[in-house]
Structures are given as C-alpha cells and as structure tokens.
Chain A
Amino acid sequence: MKFTLNGTPRKLDAHPLKRLLDVLREDCELTGTKEGCGEGECGACTVLVDGEPVVSCLMPCAQVEGCEVTTIEGLSGDHPLQRAMMREVGAQCGICTPGVILAAHALVESTRKPTLERVREALAGNLCRCTGYEAIHRAVLGAHAERHAHAASAAPEKAKA
C-alpha cells in the first residue's frame, strides 16, 4: 500500500483492515497518535487525511491508499498551535493533545478568525478529562492570532482570556 505520510511517500505491507492507528504506531513507529477509547468517541487518535480530521481508530488502512496523512509528527514542533498549547497550559496528562492539535489545525491555518463557538464545534469530538477545555480554547484562538499576526509585530499576541 502506498500513501504519503507527513510529506514523505511511504510503501508498506499491512493487512488492509488493520486500523490506521495501529499502522501509524506499529508499522510506521509514529507513537504521537494516541489510542483513547478505540470507538471513535474521544478523538485522541485524530489524524488528517487529505487535510480533514478523522479518527484513525475507525479507519481501515486500505482507505488511505494514495492519500496524504498528517500526524502530530508532521507538525514542526514549533507550530503556533503547539506553542500556544504550552503557553496556555492546554495540556495536563497530554493524551488528548495530539488529537486536539490536529482537530484544531484547519481552524488555525484558515485566514478567517474563528469564534469561540466555532472552536468548540471543531473540538466537539475531542475529549479532555484534565483541562476543562477553557485553556485549550484560549490556545486555539491565541494560535490563530499568532499565525496571522503581521510579520512586523514584535511580540506574539497574547491570547485573550
């Protein structure tokens, strides 16, 4: 099976019904994608397939043949969303964090400023048992501001409470 993983073409030999989650963690050794509930409720295993968030625990790997898959490892580690999550303490135990970041990625990259309601909708499929979500929502809004701040502004914009 051939697909593109974080920008690099990959070819692997896996059972076509093997969960994409297991292919990523075991065959590709990318363990940033976490398993939470295993039934599509918690969003911890969220990855992007052709730019759209999906839960990798409910996807047979055969379905990503020819597609572009992005996992948390595909972000630089220095993405505005990753920095904002640290700044706002949007993570405690961290299990939900890779999924949250990928679910919010499209909102942050979009030039249109999301409302808080829009952020909540985008993250409705991601459960966090630690933070109570407020810090996560602040991080997403702050990351959007930072991502689209004019290059001239010296300091990164402080996220609004």
Chain B
Amino acid sequence: MRTATAPYALFRARTLDGALKILREEPGTVPIAGCTDVFVTLEFGGSPGTRYLDLSRLSALRRITTSGDKLVIGALATYTELQKSRFVRARLPMLVEAARLVGGVQIQNMGTVGGNLANASPAGDTLPVFAVANADVVLAGPDGERRVPFNAFYTGYRASVRRPDELIVAVEVSPVIGKQWFRKVGTRAAQAISKVVFAGVRGLETRLALGSVAPTVIRLPGTEMVLNGGGSIDEALRALADEIRPIDDLRSTAGYRRSVAANLVRQFWSETA
C-alpha cells in the first residue's frame, strides 16, 4: 500500500507567522507534525484534507520551559521529550507516565503533544492528564494568542474550539497540588490504543478524568463531589456510573469499560490514600 500523494499538496513553514499566513490563505489546510495519526488515516483511504502544512521545522514550538510558576509545553514537544524534560518529571510525573505508554519508542520520537490535542480522540493518552491538571491550551491565530481552559477545549466527538486558522502552540500547566496517578488499560503495554485511560490528582481538591468512556475525554464532577465531600468510594462509584457513557467499539465493550473505569477509580483512591 502506498500513500496516494498525487492529489495532495504540502506547504512547509519555517516560522509561526508563516504557518498562520498559510492557514489564512489556504482554507482547509490540515496542519501536520509527527504524522502518527494523519498518516494512518491517509494510509487506510481516509482523507483529512488535500492540503497539508508541515509544522515540524518550527523548533521554537518544541521547547518545554517554565514561565513564572507555570510549566509551558510547546505543542511540538514529542513524547520522548516529555519523558526527558526535568521540568515535566518534577512537576507532572503523571504526564511522563502517559508519554511512556504511548506506542513504542518510534512513535514516542514522532508524536507530539499538540497533535494529541488536535487529533481530539476520546482515547488520547495525555488528555486525562491535562484535564485533571486544569491545563490551558494556548492557541495562536490571526489576532494573536488566546488561552482556553483544557476542560473547555473540546465541544464534542473530535471537535474543539480551535478555529481552522488557529494553531495549538503550547499547553500551560500551573502547579498541581496533590498526589498524581495515571493508568492506561489497553490490549498490551505498548502500541495499543486505550480501552480506558485515567488520570487522577488527590489533594485538598481531588480531580479525576477518564478517556474512552464518552465522546471526549471527561472530568468526573459528580464522582469528585462525593469524594471531596467526604463520601465513601462506593458512593463515588455510584456517581461515576451515572456520568460515563462508554460505547461498544472495535477495541472493547461498554460493559467492560464500565467495570474497568470503576476499578481504576477504586484503585486510585486506595493507592493515593
């Protein structure tokens, strides 16, 4: 099988301004970087678009830094770079764990944080981490930058508030207080898309998020409210059952996902006690 290249065009940008100009002037252009999602779609006959914009040379967007008390992860940081970054290791160990479990080393060397967000899969491995970290997504567009709370970024299945002429340029994370916990359940340790993926923070305010149990990654406000109000884990799991909407698909069943989601929340609660 070969990628059908003939009808497709590739633009390449060397600067962020150049990239934004192309998005403005060539509507429908699909930004690409690590290509680990887009090329799979192309390979199997899907067509996310006919015009693509390669961002991989925008090295300024690859940096992982701090600004004041915020961790700033450039959109082009790869999963390998997340694992190596001393800032991420110190502040967001659950993100290191999530990055470690994305595919094999080859995919970790290619795939990017911005791509994981933009692809907007409900199963995206880093997404529950950003949900419980109350991260902000930094978007750059024709009118400059704007920040959107990660928990308001997705509007539905594979849909987000990112406008077609905007690029995700960074994710910002304020200090996370409390114990961090991450767990991905898939067919095998490496290479598998999640059946269920979970991140939790246990502190003064406990925060929980699940992937693959609803059209988007979701926080669990009802479950959190029970736990933060001093309720028991069994009461919390009853609340959980009411706020997840898993489906049967090629990777798993709704029933299995319900059981696993409850087990993960229970395990999180006992291991972070």
Q: Which residues of A does B touch, CB under 8 Å?
A: 15-19, 22, 35, 38-41, 43, 46, 52-55, 57-60, 62-63, 103, 121-127
Chain A proximity mask over B111-146: 1 for CB below 8 Å, otherwise 0: 000000000000000000000000000000000000
Contacts A16-B10, A16-B12, A40-B107 supplied; 13 other A-B pairs, CB < 8 Å: A15-B5, A17-B10, A18-B3, A18-B5, A22-B3, A53-B109, A55-B107, A58-B35, A59-B35, A62-B10, A62-B12, A123-B104, A124-B104
What CA separation (Å) do A39 and B104 show in the bound complex? 13
B39 in the interface (beta carbon within 8 A): yes
Q: Which residues of B does A touch, CB under 8 Å?
A: 1-3, 5-6, 8, 10, 12, 32, 34-36, 39-40, 43-44, 52, 54, 56, 80, 103-107, 109-110, 189-191
Partner of B106, one of A35, A39, A54, A63: A54
Cβ–Cβ contact A125 & B5, under 8 A: no
Cβ–Cβ contact B106 & A55, under 8 A: yes
Partner of B43, one of A38, A46, A121: A38
Cβ–Cβ contact A17 & B3, under 8 A: yes
Residues in B neighbouring A54, C-beta threshold 8 A: 106, 109-110
Cβ–Cβ contact B2 & A59, under 8 A: no
Cβ–Cβ contact A60 & B36, under 8 A: no
What CA separation (Å) do A127 and B52 show in the bound complex? 30
Cβ–Cβ contact B106 & A46, under 8 A: yes
What CA separation (Å) do A122 and B106 show in the bound complex? 9
What CA separation (Å) do A65 and B5 show in the bound complex? 18
What CA separation (Å) do A121 and B197 show in the bound complex? 20
Cβ–Cβ contact B6 & A43, under 8 A: no
Partner of A52, one of B10, B109, B189: B109
Residues in B neighbouring A43, C-beta threshold 8 A: 104, 106
Cβ–Cβ contact B8 & A125, under 8 A: no
Residues in A neighbouring B109, C-beta threshold 8 A: 52-54
Residues in A neighbouring B35, C-beta threshold 8 A: 58-60, 63
Residues in B neighbouring A58, C-beta threshold 8 A: 34-36, 39-40, 110
Q: How far is the CB of B268 from chain A (nearest CB, A)?
A: 24
Residues in B neighbouring A60, C-beta threshold 8 A: 10, 32, 35, 39, 54
A125-B52 contact given A15-B5, A18-B5, A19-B2, CB 8 Å threshold? no
Residues in B neighbouring A62, C-beta threshold 8 A: 10, 12, 54
| Nearest-CB residue, chain B, relative to A106 | B105
| Nearest-CB residue, chain A, relative to B110 | A54
A125-B10 contact given A59-B35, A60-B54, CB 8 Å threshold? no
What CA separation (Å) do A60 and B36 show in the bound complex? 11
What CA separation (Å) do A136 and B9 show in the bound complex? 41
What CA separation (Å) do A143 and B220 show in the bound complex? 49
Cβ–Cβ contact A17 & B105, under 8 A: no
Cβ–Cβ contact B44 & A39, under 8 A: yes
A19-B39 contact given A103-B106, A122-B105, CB 8 Å threshold? yes
A55-B110 contact given A38-B43, A60-B35, A125-B105, CB 8 Å threshold? yes
Residues in B neighbouring A19, C-beta threshold 8 A: 2-3, 39
Residues in B neighbouring A52, C-beta threshold 8 A: 80, 109
A40-B105 contact given A58-B110, A124-B190, CB 8 Å threshold? no
Q: How far is the CB of B124 from chain A (nearest CB, A)?
A: 15
Cβ–Cβ contact B107 & A125, under 8 A: yes
Please name the 8 residue pairs, one residue from A and one from B, whose CB atoms are nearest each other, closest first. A125-B104, A124-B190, A15-B5, A58-B39, A16-B10, A124-B104, A55-B106, A39-B40
| Nearest-CB residue, chain B, relative to A125 | B104
What CA separation (Å) do A46 and B103 show in the bound complex? 13
